[in-house]
Chain A
Amino acid sequence: DIQMTQSPSSLSASIGDRVTITCRTSQSIDTYLNWYQQKPGKAPNLLIYAASSLQSGVPSRFSGSGSGTDFTLTISSLQPEDFATYYCQQSYRSPRTFGHGTKVEIK
């Protein structure tokens, strides 16, 4: 199975901060990497697909980059509604696997 390593596991940030979350995979996955946001009691919500494509309806402050084994999700200016847990996920090979999440909390 392809292992997904997200870092950090949690972070504290203030409104307006630039936030970066990284995801490293145990083998190359080209750009078959997606990012999701999950809020308590809700299903995950797709933010970025294919490493850098913004899902329709997602604010442009979210961006993704990377290919191969190293990927980044960036929130350019953190907003109150962005406090949540973020997950990376690969669809290069079965089983599809997810990172363990990065919880973004209010400083």
Chain B
Amino acid sequence: QVQLQQWGAGLLKPSETLSLTCDVYGGSFSGYYWGWIRQSPGTGLEWIGEINHSGSTNYKSSLRSRVTMSIDTSKSQFSLKLTSVTAADTAIYFCARNKITLGRPWDSWGQGTLVTVSP
């Protein structure tokens, strides 16, 4: 049973860089994509992007200029960096596993990290 445990700073000032990491326990990296999804009252659930075990990425186009995802299979973790944050980036951020099967579902999720951007 895979478990995802995420961590990172929860309070940022505008223009700073959001940095989150997700540790993966009990699962293989191959056969899956690993991604980030955020949730805010105004926007709902928003897919940010995903990365596979080889480092191939797929980002939401509107965030592409600010997003970098990386993966380190030797440490069983993957990470998100989002630069130049604004108040609009305030949200709960989830890491999640995307199964490469019919439907491509997000079948395991981290516990979520509330990220607040405030001067």
List chain A positions with a Cβ less than 8 A from chain B: 31-34, 36, 42-46, 49-51, 53, 55, 87, 89, 91, 94-101
B44 touches A100 (CB 8 A): yes
B109 touches A91 (CB 8 A): no
A95 touches B45 (CB 8 A): no
B103 touches A50 (CB 8 A): yes
Q: Beta-carbon contacts of B22-46 to A below 8 Å, as 1s and 0s?
A: 0000000000000000000000111
Partner of B60 from A51, A89, A94, A99 at Cβ < 8 Å: A94
CB neighbours (8 Å) of B45 from chain A are 44, 87, 89, 98, 101
B106 touches A53 (CB 8 A): no
Partner of B107 from A33, A55, A95, A99 at Cβ < 8 Å: A55
A34 touches B44 (CB 8 A): no
**CA A91 – CA B47 in complex, angstroms?**
10
**CA A101 – CA B46 in complex, angstroms?**
12
Contact-residue size bin, chain B (C-beta under 8 Å from the other chain):
20 to 34
- What's the count of A-B pairs with C-beta under 8 Å? 66
Q: Closest B residue to A47 by CB, please name it.
A: B105
**CA A92 – CA B30 in complex, angstroms?**
21
SS class, residues of chain A in contact with chain B = loop
A55 touches B105 (CB 8 A): yes
Give chain B nearest CB distance to A82 CB in angstroms: 19
Partner of A34 from B60, B103, B110 at Cβ < 8 Å: B103
B109 touches A53 (CB 8 A): no
Q: Does B65 contact A (CB under 8 A)?
A: no
**CA A34 – CA B106 in complex, angstroms?**
8
Partner of A49 from B58, B94, B102 at Cβ < 8 Å: B102
B102 touches A50 (CB 8 A): yes
CB neighbours (8 Å) of A31 from chain B are 102-103
Residues of chain B from 72 to 119 with CB closer than 8 A to chain A in the complex: 94, 96, 98-99, 101-107, 109-112
CB neighbours (8 Å) of B101 from chain A are 49-50
CB neighbours (8 Å) of B109 from chain A are 43-45
Knowing A43-B112, A49-B101, A50-B101, the reply to whether A95 touches B61 (Cβ < 8 A) is yes
